[in-house]
Amino acid sequence: MCGITGWVDWETDLRTRERTVRAMTETLACRGPDADGVWLSKYAALGHRRLSVIDLDGGVQPLRDLPLPRAVISYNGELYNYRELRAELRALGHEFRTASDTEVVLRAHVQWGDQAPRRFNGIFAYALWDTRREELLLVRDHLGIKPLYWHAHRSGVLFGSEPKAVLANPLFRAELDAEGIAELFALPAAPTAGHGLFRGLHEVRPGTVVTVGRSATRQSAYWALESQPHTDDPATTRETVRALLADSVERQLLSDVPLCTLLSGGVDSSAITALAAGARERAGQGKVTSFSVDFPGSEERTPDAWRTTLDAPYVQAAAEHIGTRHTSVVVPDDDMLDARDAVLRARDRPGWGEMDASLHLLFREVRRHSTVALSGEAADEIFGGYPYFHDARALAADTFPWLHGRTTPAALLRPEVRAEVRPDEYTAEAYRRSLAEVPRLDGETGPDRRLREVFHLALTRWLPPLLDRVDRVSMSVGLEVRVPFCDHRLVEYLWNVPWHLKSPGGRSKGLLRDAVRDLLPPQVTDRPKSGYPSTPAVRYSEVLTARAHELLADPQAPVFDLVDRDVVRRALAEGRPLPSPRTAPNPIGGLDHLIQVDEWLRAYRVGLR
């Protein structure tokens, strides 16, 4: 994986702005610790930081199409079908100077133009400058696994893998307007597609190409889900799911550097690990290396609807059955407190507090041994594993189902801020727009119609912040995380599989469990859904509470330009938890969010509009 950035300007000779372009590029050093490079022309400049994974010696970027400089690319990602495309392009007369997938992407655009992304299977976000048309293409993968942000200024655009790269250019200022406040406080668990939180900052939407020309900037989707009848019987459906998932895993084992899996003991990550082990055995390679996370005192944690069981016993059962070289990374609470600033800098926004901190520490330890890790992320979104898929009241609610019955941090806003932001109206409008995007199936009614809506909401509003979290936290330590369940072919197929086949007999993710049952021990295959674990540590909560009291005593605390100080003071005095941005139960989630917002406003010098 890598970091990309750049600048297009029709009124400035960017050949004289190398220092600024290098400053933008340097902000992404954590994403690409192995090499860097910039390319400058009159109207366009590209920057690149490289994490070497494939073709360690030949994949230097930005990469030009030679001998004729028809296009230049700065690329972040992995193209899992690049060998097939390389052979096809060779047959069409293309000659290759490197063994990298980057050059395949570049030459695919030379051959097929903006239709090239339709042929790709992988995770990617890249910028391509067409020297003949003097146009910039910003392209993001089908599910939005790799991030890409852009900002339109008066005479062009700025872009980068992360907001920090755009912020390094003096043309962009860190500001928060009413929409950004609503996103941060009312919709932290359902962010608007394409919204970059900062005023004037956008994300390239998944499956989309943004074309920047001298006269206009336009967006076009090259991929979207299509609804059609599912005609396969149950056995064929199971076999197809198994085949697609196995092929996805095998493709994603491609690497010239050490690779591992993230194993939580759930059916999702265990299936990925087992399929990876089988593929490596067939290839005559060694055992899979796997990692999990745990906390001191975790055995004392009280189960809840989101975290039903402890991971450790299931991790051990899966690792022993599959035969992995396994390591459990134990994360003390003091380490998580120390990691908070690093996580904030990684995400460029308030995140999920201790869950982000522990993930950062897990990834930091994994990176000592591997450069690439396979994760079970997204299985719950495509198979319907979350509690809200099975909660009749949540499904019937006229809002995002995971927000049903919940109070968001918007309840903390000062009255005058709330009047300006109108968080309830903003949420209702966001929900209405999201439903309008659902591709309908003719004749579908009742529960099936509603569940199709919920699956689409899960894929377009729930999954993106999870993928963003994994990418930003992993890349902050130079670790590439791959997500086989996000293979767009598997997602396309499952999109049209009806609920009774996804959840046979009412069993959550029954289709997945049946498809991989022969690979895993029964207790792992049938383990109920249990979310990413949270720390049971008392000290973490105590330190946050002390910091919150310090904020209340600080008359200059910027968070109270947005949040009602008296509401927070009363809640702390009465021992009531503050509303959390996360849907999973967490008594300190709201406190974490409050403190992170203040830290973010200070660290990024965010202005309020």
Tokens 């943004």 found at: 210
Tokens 């966001």 found at: 430
Torsion sign over Cα 536, 539, 543, 548: positive
CB atoms within 10 A of CB 313: 14
**Catalytic residue set:** 2
- What is the CA 324 to chain-centroid distance, rounded? 26
Query: CA–CA separation, 396 vs 381, rounded Å?
Result: 18
* 3-state SS assignment for residue 235: helix
ω into 67 cis (within 30 of 0): yes
Contact 592, 159 (CB under 8 A): no
CB atoms within 10 A of CB 528: 14
Query: CA–CA separation, 153 vs 172, rounded Å?
Result: 8
| 502 Cβ neighbours under 8 A, 6+ residues apart | 383, 384, 494, 509, 510, 511
Strands (E), 69-144: 71-79, 122-130, 135-140
Task: Please report which residue ranges of 78-160 form alpha helices under DSSP H.
Answer: 82-91, 101-112
Which residues on neighbouring strands pair with residue 374, listed in sequence order? 261, 482
Torsion sign over Cα 35, 359, 189, 409: negative
| 466 Cβ neighbours under 8 A, 6+ residues apart | 377, 378
Query: CA–CA separation, 403 vs 168, rounded Å?
Result: 35
Contact 349, 603 (CB under 8 A): no
Query: CA–CA separation, 381 vs 378, rounded Å?
Result: 5
Query: CA–CA separation, 82 vs 259, rounded Å?
Result: 19
- Residue 89: φ, ψ to 5°: -70, -35
Query: CA–CA separation, 590 vs 593, rounded Å?
Result: 5
Query: CA–CA separation, 294 vs 288, rounded Å?
Result: 20
The angle subtended at Cα 463 by Cα 576 and Cα 101, nearest 5°, is: 140
| 451 Cβ neighbours under 8 A, 6+ residues apart | 384, 389, 395, 499
Torsion sign over Cα 114, 115, 119, 121: positive
Q: Which pair of structure tokens corresponds to residue 584?
A: 């999973």
Which residues on neighbouring strands pair with residue 293, listed in sequence order? 329
Tell me the DSSP string of 513-529: HHHTGGGS-HHHHTPPP
Contact 298, 271 (CB under 8 A): no
Is residue 220 within a helix (H) or strand (E), and if so which, with residue range? strand 217-221
Max CA pair span of the chain: 73
